[in-house]
Amino acid sequence: MSVTVASVGVMTDQNAAQPSDLSDLSALDAGTVPLDPASTAALAAVGLTYRKVDVAGEDFDRFALAMDRGFLGQRGTPEQLEGFRGAMDGRRPIGVFDDAAVESGVPVATVDTWVEEVTVDVGRVLPMWAISGVTVSPTHRRRGIARAMLEGELRSAAAAGFPIAGLTVSEATIYGRYGFGQAATATSWSVDARRAGWIGPRPTEGERPGRIDPIEREHAREDVTALHDVVRRGRPGEIRAWANLWRFTVGLGAGQEGAAKVRAVRYTDADGVRRGVLVYEIENHPDDFTKNTLAVRSLIADGPEAYAALWRFALTHDLVATVKAELLSADEPLRWLIADTRAATVTERDHHWLRVLDVAACLEARTYRVPGAVTFVVSDPVGLTDGAWTLTIDEDGAGSVTAGEAGAGAGGHEVHLGIAELSALLVGGVRATTLRAAGRVECDGDAASWLDVALAPLAQPRLSVWY
């Protein structure tokens, strides 16, 4: 079979409108979404109360305590607690309470949800139900509490009209069972800066040089906030993020440990336009003043010029022997900017897990590289998306979805898969041929090859933050 990439009019307009009925969801206060009745009843049947936490009072202090315990952290200071409380606008903290416990006011399980936007294609975002803070006390583990919370969150989000849910994880083994798929992998880099050798552009030199300036943390906060909001829309897998995350990124978090180490520089192009920001810290070598490590906290570049300028700044920094960075993409241009790629040690792991809740809304939100039709026959462990969904792609790369019998798309392909696999395929971070080779999707080879082309991402999926 021959696979042809049609000269489709690929949508790259970063201001592209999203479906009007979905766009309102992006601004929704998650606290207005009701708790799932089935999970509330299931937990009540075993003597547990599943309820929202009151952010204003001691209820929240106990929620925070339970979450700190759950993630094996230490008790937050009063300043940290107030910072956490102040960042809860629009959030939906939930606790599970054991009325028979010695301290029954402290939840034995927590979950924190809110509304995000996730980019599914260049210039295309969807409202997303973000799930975080999932903990179950070690005293109450493996009784199905996490399952009740996760399934409850997914049903609540789907009932409220959210097309997709997402999370980042402590362990890769936990969430596939609920239909989450690994949508964007992340790479961690450790570069021997002396060995690497810079072969890329030098935007701060030449006839029209840009410039790099040191900036204080408040400027850095403005920069990461503004630049991320532009860059994330062009990168499948990225999310909108929130103000308190950026405060911690630049060292302005309430009671933040290690904040004094955070420093930043801004890249401004020859026209005076702010194009990039690098937030980093220096880890001092105990014995040798020339062997310090520069640890990147955030590098956000609006275009290749700022990207090269900021990475060159980091890799040629005096008294720095090693540059470390995390949450880079699986296809990072940095590899092509250094002479000796073996100077970089790169490790890869799962990072952004997505979970399609509405197959039609998700598939219609992105664009495609080749016309045709495919019927996805989906199985869903939580029962939200089971069935046959036929995606028809027109000559312009737009997709439309109809629910119905397999084979409904005349001459189309047919693919049998779980919702986790469809969620992984959605933003193009994994190829259908790879999933087929792993036995994770069932279809013929032609269908998988066609899907590889149709779903090819315009930019390598990435998520540059934890949530």
Ligand X SMILES: CC(C)(COP(=O)(O)OP(=O)(O)OC[C@H]1O[C@@H](n2cnc3c(N)ncnc32)[C@H](O)[C@@H]1OP(=O)(O)O)[C@@H](O)C(=O)NCCC(=O)NCCS
Which residues bind to ligand X, rule: CB under 6 A?
A: 70-71, 134-136, 141-147, 169-171, 173-174, 177
Nearest distance from residue 57's CB to ligand X, in Å?
Answer: 24
Nearest distance from residue 9's CB to ligand X, in Å?
Answer: 40
Q: Which is nearer to ligand X, 350 or 414 (CB)?
A: 350
Q: Report yes or no: 310 and 265 within 8 Å, Cβ to Cβ.
A: yes
Phi, psi values for residue 340, rounded to 5°: -110, 95
Nearest distance from residue 156's CB to ligand X, in Å?
Answer: 17
Q: Determine how β-strand 413-418 pairs with β-strand 441-442.
A: antiparallel
Q: In what order do the strands lie in the sheet with 109-121?
A: 48-52, 92-98, 109-121, 124-136, 164-167, 344-356, 181-192, 320-328, 292-301, 274-283, 263-268, 211-215
Q: Which is nearer to ligand X, 70 or 276 (CB)?
A: 70
Q: Which is nearer to ligand X, 146 or 354 (CB)?
A: 146
Phi, psi values for residue 339, rounded to 5°: -70, -40
Nearest distance from residue 352's CB to ligand X, in Å?
Answer: 12
SS (H, E, C) 354-370: EEECCHHHHHHHCECCC
Nearest distance from residue 69's CB to ligand X, in Å?
Answer: 9
Q: Which is nearer to ligand X, 42 or 55 (CB)?
A: 42
Question: Which residues fall within 8 angstroms of residue 87, CB to CB, at 6 or more apart?
Answer: 242, 243, 244
**Alpha-carbon span 127 to 30, nearest angstrom:** 12
**Alpha-carbon span 180 to 352, nearest angstrom:** 9
Q: Which is nearer to ligand X, 156 or 292 (CB)?
A: 156
Q: Which is nearer to ligand X, 313 or 353 (CB)?
A: 353
Phi, psi values for residue 303, rounded to 5°: 115, 165
Tokens for 436? Answer: 């087929």
Nearest distance from residue 247's CB to ligand X, in Å?
Answer: 22
Q: Which is nearer to ligand X, 6 or 106 (CB)?
A: 106
Q: Which is nearer to ligand X, 99 or 171 (CB)?
A: 171
Q: Report yes or no: 463 and 117 within 8 Å, Cβ to Cβ.
A: no
Nearest distance from residue 65's CB to ligand X, in Å?
Answer: 14
Nearest distance from residue 296's CB to ligand X, in Å?
Answer: 24
Nearest distance from residue 307's CB to ligand X, in Å?
Answer: 30
Q: What is the dihedral of CA 22, 249, 171, 363, to 10 degrees?
A: 20
Q: Which is nearer to ligand X, 71 or 336 (CB)?
A: 71
Q: DSSP letter for 20, please.
A: H
Nearest distance from residue 369's CB to ligand X, in Å?
Answer: 33
Nearest distance from residue 97's CB to ligand X, in Å?
Answer: 14
Residue the block writes with tokens 């028979």: 100
Nearest distance from residue 63's CB to ligand X, in Å?
Answer: 14
**Alpha-carbon span 340 to 350, nearest angstrom:** 26
Q: Which is nearer to ligand X, 25 or 145 (CB)?
A: 145
Q: Which is nearer to ligand X, 177 or 202 (CB)?
A: 177
Tokens for 99? Answer: 């009325």
Q: Report yes or no: 192 and 322 within 8 Å, Cβ to Cβ.
A: yes
With CB atoms as reference, the residue minimizing the distance to ligand X is 146
Question: Which residues fall within 8 angstroms of residue 449, CB to CB, at 6 or more apart?
Answer: 1, 3, 432, 433
Q: Report yes or no: 191 and 315 within 8 Å, Cβ to Cβ.
A: yes
List Cα–Cα distances, 273 to 207, 264, 313, 314, 338, in angstroms.
17, 17, 18, 21, 26
Q: Which is nearer to ligand X, 143 or 274 (CB)?
A: 143
**Alpha-carbon span 368 to 456, nearest angstrom:** 7
